[in-house]
Amino acid sequence: MVPATHAQRAVVPDAAWEQGLAAHLRATLDADGLAALTARHADGTSDFDVRMRRAVWRARLKALGDGLAVGEHVSLKHPETMTIGAGVHIGDQACLHGRAGGSCAIGERAWIGPQCFLDARDLEIGALVGIGPGARILGSTHTGLPADLPIIATDLAIRAVRIEDGADIGVNAVILPGVTIGKGAQIGAGAVVVEDVAPFAVVAGVPARFLHWRAGHAPPGKA
Give me the pLDDT at residue 223, please. 65
In this structure, are residues 67 and 11 in contact, taking their beta carbons and an 8 Å threshold? Answer: yes
- Give pLDDT tens digits for 121-155: 999 999 999 999 999 999 999 999 999 999 999 99
HSE on the CB side for 197, CA within 13 Å?
A: 34
Beta-bridge mates of residue 83: 63, 105
Alpha-carbon distance of 178 to 137, in angstroms, equals: 10
Alpha-carbon distance of 214 to 12, in angstroms, equals: 32
Residue in 93, 92, 88, 91 with CA at minimum distance from that of residue 105: 88
Task: Give the mean pLDDT per block of 10 residues along the chain (223 residues).
Answer: 89 94 96 94 91 95 96 95 97 94 96 97 97 97 94 94 98 98 98 98 98 90 70
User: What letter represents residue 219's amino acid?
Assistant: P
Give me the pLDDT at residue 137, please. 98
Give me the pLDDT at residue 77, please. 94
